Amino acid sequence: MSPLSENISQHPEKMSTRRAFLRFVLPVLLLLLLLAGSAYVYFFLPGNDLTAIHTQTGREKLFSFESAENAQYLAQASQVVITNPAVARDIAMDRLSAIEKNGKDKDKIPFYNMIGVSYLYQAQYNNAIKEFYNSMELALELNEPLYLAHTHHNIGLVNLFSEKYKDAIDFFLKSLEIYEHINDTINMYTAMNSIGRIYYEINDLGKAYSYYAKAWDGFLRYRHELGISSVANHKAMYYQAIGQPDSTIHYFNQAILYGKKVESNFNLSDIYLEKGNFYFHTANYPRAISNYHISDSLAQVVNSPRQACYPKLGIAMAYLEMNNTDQAMTYVEAVSQINQQIENDEISFRISETLSSIYEHQGNITRAFEHYKLANEKRSKLYDQTEIYQVYNVELEQLNRQMELNQLTMERQELLLSQRKNTMVLIIVISVSLLIILSLLYKFYINKIKQLQKNKLHENQIRHSREKNRAALEAETSERKRLGLELHDGVGPLISLTKLNVTNVIEDDTLSTERKHDLLKKTASNLDEILREMKHISYNLAPLVLMERGFEYAIRNLAAKIKNLRQYDVHLNINGVDKSLGTYHQHALYRTIQEMLNNVILHAEAREINMEILQNDHDITVMIEDDGKGFEVCGKATGQGLGLKSAASRIEGLGGEFLIDSKPGRGTIITIILPLEKQYAPFEANTARSQPNEKPEMRAEAREKIHSLLMRAGLKKTTPSH
């Protein structure tokens, strides 16, 4: 027993007195502190009212530096971030180091954003999102709503440029919500313009135009000429997409007109670039080259090497279409020289892609193929950053939830203030004398409670971090082991046999010509087998048929392969599947269906397989039924069936349901229900649904509901074999 416990046990009457005192004092103290604090805010700090902030719309009014020196350094970085992102980044990093030693955390926020923007200009998207996350975390901690909105918008741009449109629109919508909350109208319409661009990229032109129209009306209302110019440029691209060239030219001219009014040469360079693209796609190559030259000259005026690269590449492609490969090569080489200085990953990819086209046009297929492979490698490096994005997106979602919680807390406090305002003055006069005495006791008590809560929170964070790291490591180790076994057992022996045959041909001079020919023929056969094995491994990593031909074609192809085995009678019905099914959902469903069909082939001893796939506005439903030998669901859930567990985890990680109905002797029915719009649910939240043996009557009910849904859609209802 500790000394404190012994002291309490020896003096129970003192402990009882203390408890009685606290039971009496604490409620009174809580009420007095709440009323006194509310009165202080209401009577003595009117300037801190949130409505005062809501009426301000300027960036300078919503964010002010603690140090004027930091404001000067940010202005310097802003001036060079377009022309030399690396220099701007160095300035921002130096100031962060200085603020870390002697400064306020508040001043770090814009410098983190500046570093992220510098990486964005160099197409280094992983580094950019890392710095924007730092900015968001600090802005949330210090309650800086404007920079919270800016950071959400910047992260949306990262996802837009890396073609992750679902994540991009999430962050743009969140930034729009914050801008509306703080009444920052100009940035609010800027966010709408960005959201419209997302819908344009995914070819939902109706929604794209609706957001462009809102942004257009807003900027016209406030006479924001730079915003009008930007939206006009996007509207021109919209009319180009729907095949209205007259409207396209009209809005390009509008964009140029307003851009010249505000002398925004950088914006004008981008407009002339898009106008050049329009003429290029209409095969008017001289007009395209003319607009590209204007874009290039404006980029040089603002000293933006990155911006100058794109019109030069456009000129190169135009000359290539005009069969002038020498001129095309000249402009590509000029872009290469510029990119050696700015080291932009996206431009490097565009250079290789253009060179591949030039060499192909010249008939140099070898060089064309080399640059084609190089372009694909650079594109993969530039855009394939899914795992890193997922890690940061989890953290960012947590920050967003915390921000919403803080907002709810503020609204609740404001409600309490309004309810007690009428009786506040009289109660404060009576309670001030008691407040002075009790405040010290309450402060001591609260500090102790906070310290205990802080320690507990820290322990929970450490435990959660360890569990998350262990889960990620186990998944990575399992995948590497699988790839290692496939290479060792499949490709390795074939390579060894190939080497043995070639060695015999080289070193054994006594071999006859016929024998050498036979060995070389076997070597060629082995190489063919190695290629087939490598294609098989590549297919398991990322099925090309899914990426190139779409989900429905991939499923039909999979069913056809099984049917060609001539051992199974395969029936497949697909209804309502369209392009609204996201990439993650497609990949998860394809892998799950593939795993379930593989289980049927390996274990079920079935003759007939029925598959039904139905999509509506809310979810997609998949049913896989076989007439095999079946199994006990309880045994698979608790002991065996790692493939089933993996499939269930994959579906439930996306917020879906994975149901199994099977018994020995009557076949198996697998039912998958995956929502289309629902956010990805955490795995822990779905743990209860990952035990398919807990409530069989609920699974039967769900199955009947699905059957009725399929019947209403006009599909065949399948029944299990007994």
For residue 397, the model assigns a pLDDT of 62
- Residue that terminates a domain, selected from 326, 357, 384: 384
Which residues lie closer than 8 Å to 689 by C-beta, 6 or more apart? 652, 657, 658
Average the pLDDT over 205-213 and give the result: 92
Residue 325 within a domain:
yes
Task: Examine the domain organization and report whether 317 and 364 are in the same domain.
Answer: yes
Task: Examine the domain organization and report whether 346 and 237 are in the same domain.
Answer: no
For residue 78, the model assigns a pLDDT of 84
- pLDDT beyond 60 at 239: yes
Q: What is the pLDDT of residues 490-542, one digit of tens each?
A: 677 778 778 877 887 888 778 888 887 888 888 888 788 788 777 767 666 66
Of 642, 674, 637, give the one whose Cα is nearest residue 655: 674
At 394, is the pLDDT very low, low, confident or very high (cuts 50, 70, 90)?
very low
State which residues form the domain around 625.
548-712
- Residue that terminates a domain, selected from 210, 240, 262: 262
For residue 90, the model assigns a pLDDT of 92
The number of beta carbons lying within 10 Å of the beta carbon of residue 548 is 9
Would you say 501 and 518 are in contact if contact means Cβ atoms under 8 Å apart? Answer: no
What is the total count of domains within the chain? 3
Q: What is the CATH number of the domain that holds 241?
A: 1.25.40
Would you say 95 and 66 are in contact if contact means Cβ atoms under 8 Å apart? Answer: no
Task: Examine the domain organization and report whether 594 and 652 are in the same domain.
Answer: yes
Q: Which residue has the higher pLDDT, 490 or 674?
A: 674
Task: Examine the domain organization and report whether 295 and 340 are in the same domain.
Answer: yes
Q: What is the CATH number of the domain that holds 348?
A: 1.25.40.10
- pLDDT beyond 60 at 97: yes
- pLDDT beyond 90 at 235: yes
Strand order in the sheet with 668-675: 569-575, 608-615, 619-626, 668-675, 657-662
Q: What is the pLDDT of residues 570-627, one digit of tens each?
A: 999 999 887 777 887 888 888 889 888 888 888 888 889 999 999 988 889 999 999 9
For residue 55, the model assigns a pLDDT of 28
How is residue 569 annotated by DSSP? E
Residue 567 within a domain:
yes
Task: Examine the domain organization and report whether 249 and 288 are in the same domain.
Answer: no
Residue 569 within a domain:
yes
Task: Examine the domain organization and report whether 280 and 323 are in the same domain.
Answer: yes
Task: Examine the domain organization and report whether 679 and 594 are in the same domain.
Answer: yes
Would you say 143 and 48 are in contact if contact means Cβ atoms under 8 Å apart? Answer: no
Q: Residue 156: what residue type? A: G
Look at the chain and count its residues: 722
Residue 357 within a domain:
yes
For residue 538, the model assigns a pLDDT of 66
Residue 202 Rama label (left phi>0; alpha psi -120 to 50; beta): alpha
Q: Cα 571 from chain centroid? A: 36
Average the pLDDT over 448-455 and give the result: 89
Return the axis-axis angle of helices 345-362 and 305-321, rounded to nearest 10°: 20
Whole-angstrom Cα distance, residue 657 to residue 664? Answer: 23
Task: Examine the domain organization and report whether 268 and 249 are in the same domain.
Answer: no
- Residue that terminates a domain, selected from 209, 227, 262: 262
Average pLDDT score, the chain: 76
Residue 553 within a domain:
yes
Task: Examine the domain organization and report whether 555 and 684 are in the same domain.
Answer: yes
Task: Examine the domain organization and report whether 631 and 699 are in the same domain.
Answer: yes
Q: Cα 158 from chain centroid? A: 9
Burial profile 30-56: b = 16 or more Cβ within 10 angstroms, e = fewer: eebbebbebbeebeeeeeeeeeebeee
For residue 568, the model assigns a pLDDT of 86
Q: What is the CATH number of the domain that holds 627?
A: 3.30.565.10
pTM for this predicted structure = 0.46
The number of beta carbons lying within 10 Å of the beta carbon of residue 581 is 18
Residue 367 within a domain:
yes
Whole-angstrom Cα distance, residue 36 to residue 425? Answer: 9
The number of beta carbons lying within 10 Å of the beta carbon of residue 208 is 23
Average the pLDDT over 669-689 and give the result: 61
Residue 231 within a domain:
yes
Radius of gyration of the CA atoms of the chain, in A: 33
At 290, is the pLDDT very low, low, confident or very high (cuts 50, 70, 90)?
very high
Q: Which of 231-235, 462-466, 665-669 has the lowest mean pLDDT?
A: 462-466
Q: Which of 217-221, 302-306, 324-328, 421-425 has the lowest mean pLDDT?
A: 421-425
Task: Examine the domain organization and report whether 199 and 309 are in the same domain.
Answer: no
| Secondary structure element (H or E) that encloses residue 424, with its range | helix 424-486
Q: Among all chains, which residue has been given the structure tokens 């001030």? A: 432
Residue 166 within a domain:
no
Task: Examine the domain organization and report whether 200 and 332 are in the same domain.
Answer: no
Q: Which of 231-235, 636-640, 656-660, 699-703 has the lowest mean pLDDT?
A: 636-640
Q: Which of 108-112, 216-220, 269-273, 459-463 has the lowest mean pLDDT?
A: 459-463
